[in-house]
Amino acid sequence: TPTKSWAEFAFEPSVIKAQMLTATDDEIRNADWPERLSIENVQVPNLNTPRDFAEEATWIYDRVMGVGSIRGIPTEAGELLLRGKMDYESDEVMEMRSYQLQNEWGGQLPDTERQNVLICIEWFLKMVRTQGYELEYLATNMRDDLHPLLRGKPEEARPPLVGDQVIIQRKTRSFDVLQAVYDWDIAYVKLQNRKQKAIETLNKELEAHSNDQQSVATLMRLQKLIASSKYDENVQDVESKMQLLLKDGAAALDANSTGGSRRPRRRTAYDMHVSRDVLELFKISSPAPEKVAMALDTTFAWGEAEGVYDVEDDAMTEILPDASPEELAKHYLDQGYEDEEDVIKALIEVSATELANDPGIRQWVRFHYRQYAQSTTKPTLLGNEQIDTFHPLAAVKRTLNKPLCHFTDIEFSMIAEGVRKGLLEFDAFLPEQEVERLVQNLSNAYCSENVSEKAEQWNTIRRKVVEDAIKKKLVPQIAREATAQLVLESKRSMAIAAFNGAWRMLNKKSWTPQLIGVKEEDVHSTLKHLEVRIISAVPASDQETPTTLVSLDGSGQLVDFLELTSFGKSGRGGSYGTQQEEQRKVAEFISNHRPHLVAVAASGENAKTLKEELDRVTGGFLEKDGFVKSIPEEVSAIEVEFINDSVASLYETASAPVKEMGELQATIRHAVALGRFARDPAAVVANLLQPSGGSHEAATISLCPFQDAALSREERVSCIERALRCCINQTGVDVNATMSHQWIARSLEHVAGLGPRKLVPFLTAIRKVDGGALDNREEILTELHAVEERVYENAASAINITDGNVLDGSRIHPKHYDKAIAIASNALDIQIDESGVGRERALERCFDPREWPKLSVLMLEDYANYLSTPEGGGVNALEILRDIRMEMRKPFEDVRSEWTRLSSDEIFTAVTGETVHTLQAGKLITCTVKRIDARANCVIVQLDSGVTGVIERQDVSDSPFDRLDDKVHVGQVITARVKAPETTAYGQQVKGIDLENLKVWLTCRGSHLSEDESRRWEEHVLATTTPYYSLDPLPGEKTIAAARASKPKKKPNQVKHEKSYIARTIDHPLFKNCSHVEATAELADGDVADFVIRPSSKGVKNLSCTIKMFDDVYWHMDIREGKKPGTGGTANLRLGTPLMIDTSKEKYEDLDEAVARHIEPVAGFLRDAVMHRKFLGGRDHEVDEHLQECFRKNRNQRPYALSVSDKHHGYLCISYIMSASGNVHHEYVEVRPIGYYYRKMEFPTVDRMLAHFKVNCNKPVDR
């Protein structure tokens, strides 16, 4: 245990932890061992200790290939080993490999390749755990030794070399297989630690029972089982058996397994019966569980546990007591049992527990369960309301009899999220026939084969034992275990998906301008020395906040900023003169700073307007003589581009960047981060991470769907850190630049070998150099002693020393400098002087682009062959030699993926907030009518996100009409469905969703809004593409319609009321001929917001909708009917159209439309209000009394509550105490289809309404 550091005596523990000043931190900081490896060894003991790496390599390979998993298929890394692409492999080679995998290799690697993979895994583990080399160092500097493990994504592989081609297209790699090996290595050590603790407990028990031969034999058998356990569930099986056997050792086992203190074990029925000696009755009346396991042929599970099932001869002899069960039971009546039947029940419980805890039997059931178990997912009542065809959980909403082994990727994380939110119910089960098969097979192994009356009596008990063991213990336990295992496997897939999201974000080249007048061979060197200037623009988030522009110099430092009140705002205010003045200011700002790029944050409704106005300003420079000089001489025009704003926007509130830019306003920090993100995404993300944890802001970056549900905050940050390490160690960090530009310095934390603890003394040592700049890499180790040798070796190739010697300004590792010198010597055909000056001049010539022809003709293969011989050192180095030559051609070339503009989909989502789950063809949405375009014969609407919608005349209504304003009016809120795109005769898709113009085509015809149409879309989107998906409700599923139909009805009152309505001939599932008394009686036991449509007491020209607002509070909504269909006496009893509800001016064609567009939205808003945390049930006077009681307890408090008004039906009431007088004030809120109408304003949510109330409650109410 480390001794206390000096800081622990001087500061609070929270400060010490945050500043990494503990004694453990000091040890990590001072050790010559990579920081990340040191931290992991603290978290997982024995991680960096030598062990049998060959055995571990086999275990890891099996896990990567899916052995021991629920699904039994290769993991993502296993798929890459099988079907991934290697550098220089052609498509033809990959097609041949795919054919061989399917037809010749049986879906597995051939033996030779498998053996090579095992050798590489073993070598990799040794290098990491015993030599202290980080994954990124090995993958970049010792690639030749890891060749079989470098299969990866096709897009990351180097293209094939054609003919004599020597120019290699280098690419960054994510090293997925190596990372999987690394992660499984940690899992393996955790398993070994757990096994070791269990063995220690058994050893203590062996010492304590050394004189008891039977106990010794049992404990020795458990030791062998533990030693041969390959998976956590196997260890858990043995630990469960140990819990039954050990008494005092059971608590010790708990402490060992959990790493905590002892805890008392819950006393079970089994414990009670054992204390009454029923276990002895089990031993004399039942075969040993291990004998039963032997009969089940379960030794395949413990093949490496030699002697585990070498049971003694007497144990193999069939056990059948001479006495009957009742006769033996009589001997135990003095133990507290009432009669023989109670003793037999106790025997059954003990026997079933003993069988259910035998590791062999458990493994046999587990194997069977994983093969045949199925699952069903169905929505809850809330899930049926919220999960439509396009919801993120739609694919798992309703699945029937899906095998557990068929779950893929993150599916189970989706189900877990649905269950957590109360939207889904999940059931994993073994089909009844399979359960009976288990019972039958176990009975055959457990029951006696004798044929006698006594044997049949004992077999009857044994069959009951087997049934209890299988049905009540084993199957439920294995089901819970399998569910937990599926969650774990899905979580691993989620972590990979999160990493891939972070990798796509970071693995982008810096934005570079399109140079003019520069030869292709000179582009790299020109860009390397070009200081790219950027102006970044952040649009206003609302009409109150300003649009912000900042100018950054070539190193990303802030030069100037500009804030504008109306520029770049949609529907901007301000006078014409103000707008012209701000346009002039923007033009002058851009002209003065002459940027190569104007980066616009792609977020918010104003982003598109801002980009369009900036395009006009920069485009005008070419037309105005005075502004042509504003364009940098290297380019022909200033480019204006949208930039992903998901990371930069966090700089407004993030705590980590405040140290550098704390004095700046939040929007300016935001804009600075945006410009830097276009230059170096990794450095910007690295600045969000806090070394001591608590990186809340970075954890909010959206990496993949459902990341918050499956991964903790720390796990999400870990995925980002891994992506940073992959990126930074392959692109390098300019150390001298970090001295003058703090925003780059945090990237050094992710260089191999370094970390936040080692970085501080590293930078401190460099600052002591004259001028604060390094001349060479060796100086770090020999003169400054900034790091020790092992850490230096890990970090060296990623440390870029500009303006030093040419080798230190390249990715070539110092251990390969001799190879670089040899290449230079052969290329230039000279003997290079080993003295510093001569060597430098020769190497500078080699790095000169004009000398490339001499380098390109070298046969590196011959040199590699020599190096592989004992005379050359016996090393594999062909790939290293190729990389050295490419570094001489383009030192520290940016090998990340090409910078690309945001796609139309990405811009649409960033600007509007709409995703495929919120806006897609077939989706039902709510929108507001903005204008009626008589010329274009269409209705223009607006979605909540600001997207413009178009409803053409033929899509407005099923019934004929003369004018559009007969059907809709401006300000009306309507429900519509997104139309599918139409294909023209030329194959071009039109209408649907127009991503470029932020426009969508809709339909609100009644037939297009019907349930039948929704079902057709569900069948098209889900049922035909999702295996095991069920369109029809499953047994036991709570549907909305069934919930309404199953509501208990109150018995009619004894006194019959006089009929106060006229029965109507209306055929609709929600309509019922009843009075308001009968309607309220039916709804009394229902849920809030349930409703019934009924005849009105006003006559046949009206209907009423009775809605339950709260207990004993009902709202009778008046529905006025239009013209009746047909003629005759009964025509008045039919439904007239159009329909109008209460004071609303909206007209509805039928009850379906009225329910969908008015009643159900009102019911939904009412339900949301009642479920709100500030809602208080009760009568008005009861709410007032509650508030006054709260005020009496704390007179400094100003309590308020939301309730349903029992005086004004259809209204909510905000009750509050505003002054010290304690008087309760009331304000009323009308529930409308578009939200809550309060103080002449409409609010879409309760929170926004209450927020407005809290700000304006002191202001007078306009009544």
* Long-range pairs of 710-717 with CB within 8 A, sequence gap ≥ 24: 710/410, 710/413, 710/416, 710/417, 710/490, 710/491, 710/494, 711/491, 711/494, 711/495, 711/498, 715/495, 715/498, 716/498, 717/689
The low-confidence residues of the chain, meaning pLDDT below 70, are 1-11, 14, 247-266, 297-318, 571-574, 622-628, 692-696, 833-837, 986-988, 1044-1060, 1127-1129, 1143, 1262-1263
Report whether the peptide linkage leading into residue 1138 is cis, meaning its omega lies within 30 degrees of zero. yes
Nearest CA-CA partner of 332 in 349, 320, 346: 346
Do 417 and 393 touch, CB atoms closer than 8 A?
A: yes
The whole-angstrom separation of Cα 857 and Cα 867 is 19
**pLDDT for 1077:** 86
Residue 356, SS3 per DSSP: helix
Do 285 and 321 touch, CB atoms closer than 8 A?
A: yes
Question: Looking only at Cα atoms, what is the longest distance across the chain?
Answer: 118
The whole-angstrom separation of Cα 1209 and Cα 1107 is 10
First to last CA, the chain: 73
What is the 3-class SS of 287-299, one letter each residue? Answer: CCHHHHHHHCCCH
**pTM for this entry:** 0.81
Q: Token pair for residue 160?
A: 């094939």
Question: Beta-carbon neighbour count of residue 651 at 10 Å?
Answer: 28
Helix (H) or strand (E) holding 577: helix 576-593
pLDDT tens-digit series, residues 879-892 = 999 999 999 988 89
Residue at 1131: amino acid letter? A
The whole-angstrom separation of Cα 1103 and Cα 1118 is 6
Angle among Cα 403, 406, 409 to the nearest 5 degrees reads: 140
The whole-angstrom separation of Cα 863 and Cα 872 is 9
Half-sphere exposure of 1143 (CA within 13 A, CB side): 4
**pLDDT for 572:** 60
**pLDDT for 526:** 83
Which residues, at least 6 apart from 56, have a Cβ–Cβ distance to it below 8 Å? 122, 125, 185, 188
Which residues, at least 6 apart from 1263, have a Cβ–Cβ distance to it below 8 Å? none
Helix (H) or strand (E) holding 1249: helix 1246-1256
Do 434 and 374 touch, CB atoms closer than 8 A?
A: no
Q: Token pair for residue 188?
A: 């393996």
The whole-angstrom separation of Cα 698 and Cα 654 is 9
Question: Beta-carbon neighbour count of residue 442 at 10 Å?
Answer: 26
Phi and psi angles of residue 659, each rounded to the nearest 5 degrees, phi first: -60, -35
Do 528 and 732 touch, CB atoms closer than 8 A?
A: no
* C-alpha pair distances (Å), 66 with each of 72, 104, 173, 418, 1119: 5, 20, 24, 26, 62
User: For the packed helices 359-372 and 340-356, what is the interaxial angle rounded to 10 degrees?
Assistant: 70
The whole-angstrom separation of Cα 390 and Cα 388 is 5
The whole-angstrom separation of Cα 1109 and Cα 1090 is 8
Nearest CA-CA partner of 809 in 877, 736, 748: 736
Beta strand spans in 496-615 (E)? 534-538, 547-552, 558-564, 597-601
Say which DSSP state 22 is in: S
DSSP secondary structure of 785-832: --S-HHHHHHHGGGEE-TTS-TTTTSS--GGGHHHHHHHHHHHHTS--
Instruction: Give CA 988 to chain center in angstroms.
Output: 36
Q: Token pair for residue 1193?
A: 């307890």
**pLDDT for 133:** 95
Strand order in the sheet with 1099-1110: 1091-1096, 1099-1110, 1113-1123, 1137-1141
Which residue blocks in 31-160 are alpha helix, DSSP H?
35-43, 53-64, 76-83, 91-103, 111-129, 135-141
Q: Token pair for residue 1084?
A: 């009394």
Which residues, at least 6 apart from 522, have a Cβ–Cβ distance to it below 8 Å? 849
**pLDDT for 480:** 93
Helix, strand, coil abundance in the chain, percent, nearest 5: 50, 10, 35
Do 930 and 923 touch, CB atoms closer than 8 A?
A: no
The whole-angstrom separation of Cα 973 and Cα 40 is 57
Q: Is residue 400 exposed (0-12), middle (13-18) or buried (19+ Cβ within 10 Å)?
A: middle
The whole-angstrom separation of Cα 216 and Cα 249 is 14
pLDDT tens-digit series, residues 968-1014 = 888 888 889 999 988 777 666 778 898 888 899 999 998 999 888 98
